[in-house]
Structure 1
Amino acid sequence: MIREVTSREAWDEFVLAQAPNTFLHTWEWGQSQQADGEGLQYLGIFSDAGEQLAAALVLTIHAKRGIHYLIPHGPTMAAGVDPAEVLAELIAYLQPLAAADGALALRVAPLLESTDASQAVFKELGFKPAPLHVHAELTWVLDIPQSDDALLDGMRKTTRHAVKKAMNDGVATSIIPASEILDRFWPLYEGTGSRHGFVLYPRELIAEQLTQFADNDRVFGAVAQHGGKDVAAAIVFQYGQTCFYYHGASIQVERMSPTQLLQFEAIREARRRGATTYNFWGIAPDDQPNHPFAGITVFKKGFGGHAIDYMHAQDLPLAFGYKRLWLIEQWRRWRRGF
């Protein structure tokens, strides 16, 4: 059976107890998306005996190309629970609501590793691969070592050199609270967007994310300065024992790269906060050298770690209008190159 979860405490009690988990399936993420105008449901899936089996944060995305439900990096399931049973219950619950909500599809971005078995579960339920990825699917993860020396030793030689050179060149790093990071991050972010030609997240949306995650001290900022001037910044979210590098920005500094030192400091802060894993977020596949993320992938892999390949987002069409949504997103995928 499915019923709504009405408190953050009850939501966290279940979701934090599962592995893996993600900041995209937190109470805070749902609240920040709702503040941005999206619909929101916190759903718990329970056995007949009342034991919670899974949790699903369901967003109603009001996109111009078509309204659809989205479950970001979820649903979160207890160990041993059959994903097919959880998904079938969610489909049965959401299908009757789709007409009233105007939802054309149920889109699930699963936190399941991409295997033949996991793909078969979705295919048998009528899902098809979404035209676009929603969130990071191929991610780069570092198990945080217990000492700075071990962290440095695990880096690629060029990354380690860049960290030490930035130190010697007078780059200073600091960890700052969520209440202060946005004013320092935003000018760098605008410059990064102009330099690389990507669309920025709205300032109001990032501000809301910071507000929500700051409530339980689940976000921090890191800033690098050179000559008294901010040259790089990062916003890192934490959920449980994992910290996620989600927003980053920098300016070009001649003969110096402050971003490696900035990440070194962010990883050290994650360790101080009790995290055991640092998630660098999305990377490009090895066989796509022209992928837009190819450059940042080289940077992230320089710190050591390993890749986790999660399933591509899956769509279950719920209305005839899904075909239009699919065509528009296919065109967008072609235009942006991935």
Structure 2
Amino acid sequence: MPVLDANQWNSFIARFPTAHLLQTAEWGEFKAAFGWLPLRVANDHSGAQILFRRLPLGLTVAYIPKGPLGSDWADLLIEVDAHCRRRRAVFLKVEPDCWEGCTGQPTLDEIFRGWEQSNPIQPRRTVEINLTGDEEDWLNRMKQKTRYNIRLAQRKEVVVEFSSDVELFHRMMLVTGQRDGFGVHSLAYYQRAFDLFSPKGMCALLLATYQQKPLAGLMVFAFGQRAWYFYGASTNEERNRMPTYLLQWEAMRWAASRGCTVYDLWGIPDEDETVLEDQFSAREDGLWGVYRFKRGFGGQIRRSVGAWDRVYQPLLYKIYQQITARRRLDG
């Protein structure tokens, strides 16, 4: 089974218009700038982009984010296994791009028999917005308050425009991270993402302003029939003008113009929908404030099937788990 370069992989992945952005060659090249080595293998009916992270003593960890692609993964995973062993992987984490309850997906429990079921890296639960129909259809699927806030931002003279000012966006990210208590990537991280994806029409940076004063921004990504809201930021000024609502609306319009039929809002608390609806108005911790905002856009709550780890070096794997658990406890 051949190892594919970026161009060969792009030719292969073009056969899968619903493939996840994290399996694109561009995502592999993006992560390569931050310590990961992408390796891509495929046969006639399936393929995977594997990311390897170097550890001390010549060891690695391996990760297939939102893959593999295609069907009948048995032969593919044998090849993946061989590459992991050659690169002295402590373990391989596979995080399939499958939703709970979806039909037609591989029988994952059989495929991963003998593997460790584990926590995924990416958010397990999300909200997907349906972009089929016209814009009035989108609005009709939203909560009344969200429709109102979009129109309020327009009445209050908020302007949303495309931008290439990643440095400004990063400054707003720092403000948001400090206010809401989450980590922020470096300027180089966002700049690299924009520089790789934007020239190919796979990313847009949108900024919301009032009287030329920046209020909020977001980076939206697209591949095939799907789009994703990965990064968003806002200042502490003029928040009564609801700029973030208009930003999401314009991101949806951009995604639809790219041919996308689904817009993924990317990450909400991993709780059952009944719990989410019972507690969203009272909870402020974690992603609860994010859910309160995202629920209004009328999307469907989805939960991924999770992740499985293929363990090659059990003792080192156990140590790795202990270290990562301690980091989560430390915040």
TM-score (norm 2): 0.88
**Residues 107-165 of structure 1: per-residue CA shift (max 9 Å, x gap):** 111112236974413541x22123x4311322211111432222222110111111111
The answer for the alignment partner of 1:160 in structure 2 is: 147
The answer for the alignment partner of 1:13 in structure 2 is: 11
The answer for the alignment partner of 2:63 in structure 1 is: 70
Relative distance call for 1:95 and 1:35 in structure 2 (3 A) is closer
191-200 or 137-146, which deviates more: 137-146
Please give the alpha-carbon distance, in whole angstroms, between the structure 2 residues aligned to 1:37 and 1:3: 24
Please give the alpha-carbon distance, in whole angstroms, between the structure 2 residues aligned to 1:22 and 1:95: 22
Is structure 2 residue 185 aligned with structure 1 residue 185? no
Match of 1:29 among 27, 30, 35: 27
**Residues 230-274 of structure 1: per-residue CA shift (max 9 Å, x gap):** 111010111112111111101233433210111011111111222
- Following TM superposition, by how much is the alpha carbon of 1:307 offset from its aligned partner in structure 2, in angstroms? 2.2
Match of 2:91 among 105, 108, 112: 105
Aligned-residue identity in percent: 25
Please give the alpha-carbon distance, in whole angstroms, between the structure 2 residues aligned to 1:106 and 1:228: 48
Aligned residues: 315
Is structure 2 residue 228 aligned with structure 1 residue 244? yes
- Following TM superposition, by how much is the alpha carbon of 1:227 offset from its aligned partner in structure 2, in angstroms? 2.8
Is structure 2 residue 211 aligned with structure 1 residue 227? yes
Q: Which contiguous aligned blocks of 4+ residues in structure 1 show a shift greater than 4 angstroms?
A: 115-119, 288-291
The answer for the alignment partner of 1:141 in structure 2 is: 128
Contact 1:98/1:104 (8 A) holds in 2: no
Letter in structure 2 aligned against 1:61: R
Contact 2:146/2:245 (8 A) holds in 1: yes
Please give the alpha-carbon distance, in whole angstroms, between the structure 2 residues aligned to 1:215 and 1:167: 29
Relative distance call for 1:250 and 1:21 in structure 2 (3 A) is same
Relative distance call for 1:7 and 1:119 in structure 2 (3 A) is closer
Please give the alpha-carbon distance, in whole angstroms, between the structure 1 residues aligned to 2:194 and 2:181: 24
- Following TM superposition, by how much is the alpha carbon of 1:59 offset from its aligned partner in structure 2, in angstroms? 0.9
Match of 1:298 among 292, 303, 307: 292
Letter in structure 2 aligned against 1:206: Y
Please give the alpha-carbon distance, in whole angstroms, between the structure 2 residues aligned to 1:220 and 1:19: 19
Please give the alpha-carbon distance, in whole angstroms, between the structure 1 residues aligned to 2:121 and 2:4: 24
Relative distance call for 1:196 and 1:234 in structure 2 (3 A) is same
Contact 1:98/1:318 (8 A) holds in 2: no
Q: 1:1-338 alignment to 2 at 5 Å?
A: 2-8=1-7, 10-18=8-16, 20-44=18-42, 46=43, 52-62=44-54, 67-77=60-70, 81-91=71-81, 93-99=82-88, 103-114=89-100, 118-124=107-113, 126-130=114-118, 132-176=119-163, 180-252=164-236, 253-284=238-269, 285-286=271-272, 287=275, 289=279, 292-319=286-313, 320-336=315-331
Contact 2:221/2:230 (8 A) holds in 1: yes
Contact 2:26/2:196 (8 A) holds in 1: yes
325-334 or 109-118, which deviates more: 109-118
Please give the alpha-carbon distance, in whole angstroms, between the structure 1 residues aligned to 2:153 and 2:189: 32
Letter in structure 2 aligned against 1:328: I
Q: Which runs of 5+ in 2 are unaligned?
A: none
Please give the alpha-carbon distance, in whole angstroms, between the structure 1 residues aligned to 2:62 and 2:47: 15
Please give the alpha-carbon distance, in whole angstroms, between the structure 1 residues aligned to 2:18 and 2:232: 24
The answer for the alignment partner of 1:49 in structure 2 is: none
Relative distance call for 1:14 and 1:95 in structure 2 (3 A) is closer
Relative distance call for 1:6 and 1:321 in structure 2 (3 A) is same
Please give the alpha-carbon distance, in whole angstroms, between the structure 2 residues aligned to 1:139 and 1:121: 26
- Following TM superposition, by how much is the alpha carbon of 1:189 offset from its aligned partner in structure 2, in angstroms? 0.5
- Following TM superposition, by how much is the alpha carbon of 1:330 offset from its aligned partner in structure 2, in angstroms? 2.1
Please give the alpha-carbon distance, in whole angstroms, between the structure 2 residues aligned to 1:273 and 1:17: 17
Please give the alpha-carbon distance, in whole angstroms, between the structure 2 residues aligned to 1:21 and 1:276: 13
Letter in structure 2 aligned against 1:33: K
Contact 1:238/1:244 (8 A) holds in 2: yes
TM-score (norm 1): 0.86
